[in-house]
């Protein structure tokens, strides 16, 4: 029953993820939305590393402690934090309370997404080890954080994009998993370039944030479009 019997090194990475998400919310409460968005993106790095650390340290998670720790951390960093950032960033939108509704949708769909993931983790119903069922939840922080820091943020687009992302999280669309050290390093470098202080980024402006936003949006959109194309192709007219 001692907590030390359950905690492994990878769990401290998950705690760093949760801590980053909590600090993002704290920064929002102080009015520093830019720093909040950066903490959200930092949480993405920790989330992408914890699984790698678990594999490299040969973590045996027989009780499911690690997967639950990861999911609880994700609720904070990729559910609550993006929802709160969207709420604060879109407070002056001309449709009253729409920012609250979309923010709540992100949190609800995020919890549903992670709960389904935990159920399917040890189930034979999973489509395969190289696929996610539904859009992975860290995309909420990647898209909203990079969009907010890109210099081209618009409240109307942010509300629409995040509502679509929330629905895609609980869909049955199978999104590919991107693995590999080079991809992890490349993504981390792009995120770090986005969260660097503005005086360091002055020579390249908002380029890292814009690139990160574009890559994330392409990932969000292209998979459903390919699936829709496949369905239309299979159900199209067969002319002899």
pLDDT in tens, 145-185: 999 999 899 999 999 999 999 999 999 999 988 765 666 67
- Least confident segment among 55-59, 150-154, 234-238: 234-238
102 within some domain = yes
What DSSP element (H or E) covers 163? helix 155-169
Structure letter (DSSP) for residue 76: I
Between 52 and 171, whose confidence is greater? Answer: 171
Range of the domain at 14: 3-232
**Domains in the chain, number:** 1
Q: What is the rounded distance in angstroms from the CA atom of residue 213 to the CA atom of residue 148? A: 9
- 64 belongs to a structural domain: yes
- The answer to whether position 240 is within a domain reads no
- Is position 237 within any domain? no
Which of 171, 146, 168 has the alpha carbon at shortest distance from 157? 146
132: which strand partners? 175
Q: Please check whether residue 238 lies inside any domain of the structure.
A: no
Q: In Å, what is the CA distance from 152 to each residue of 80, 101, 116, 143?
A: 23, 23, 34, 13
82 Cβ neighbours under 8 A, 6+ residues apart: 40, 106, 140, 141, 144, 145, 162
For residue 224, is it within any domain? yes
- CATH assignment of the domain containing 161: 1.20.120
* CA neighbor of 50 nearest in space, from 12, 20, 7, 4: 12
Going through the chain in order, the beta strands assigned E by DSSP cover 131-133, 174-176
CA angle at 113 for the pair 107 and 116, rounded to the nearest 5°: 140
Is a pLDDT exceeding 60 seen at residue 126? no
Residue 183 has a pLDDT of 64
Tens of pLDDT, residues 7-44: 778 889 999 999 999 999 999 999 999 999 999 999 99
- For residue 187, the model assigns a pLDDT of 77
* Torsion sign over Cα 46, 62, 120, 131: positive
Give the phi and the psi of residue 2 in degrees, each rounded to 5. -65, 135
């Amino acid at each position: 029953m001692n907590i030390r019997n359950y905690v492994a090194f990878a769990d401290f990475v998950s705690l760093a993820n949760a801590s980053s998400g909590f600090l993002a919310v704290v920064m929002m409460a102080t009015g520093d939305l830019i720093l909040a968005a950066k903490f959200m993106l930092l949480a993405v790095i920790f989330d992408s590393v914890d699984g790698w650390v678990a594999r490299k340290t040969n973590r045996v998670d027989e009780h499911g402690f690690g997967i639950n720790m990861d999911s609880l951390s994700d609720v904070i960093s990729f559910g609550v934090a993006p929802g709160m950032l969207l709420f604060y960033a879109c407070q002056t939108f001309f449709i009253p309370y729409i920012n609250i509704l979309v923010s709540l949708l992100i949190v609800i769909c995020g919890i549903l997404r992670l709960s389904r993931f935990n159920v399917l983790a040890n189930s034979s119903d999973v489509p395969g080890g190289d696929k996610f069922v539904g859009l992975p939840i860290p995309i909420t922080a990647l898209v909203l954080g990079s969009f907010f820091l890109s210099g081209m943020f618009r409240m109307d687009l942010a509300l629409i994009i995040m509502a679509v992302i929330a629905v895609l999280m609980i869909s049955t669309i199978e999104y590919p998993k991107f693995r590999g050290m080079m991809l992890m390093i490349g993504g981390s470098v792009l995120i770090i370039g986005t969260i660097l202080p503005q005086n360091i980024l002055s020579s390249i402006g908002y380029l890292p944030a814009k690139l990160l936003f574009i890559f994330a949006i392409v990932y969000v959109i292209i998979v459903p479009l390919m699936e829709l194309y496949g369905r239309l192709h299979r159900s199209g007219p067969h002319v002899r």
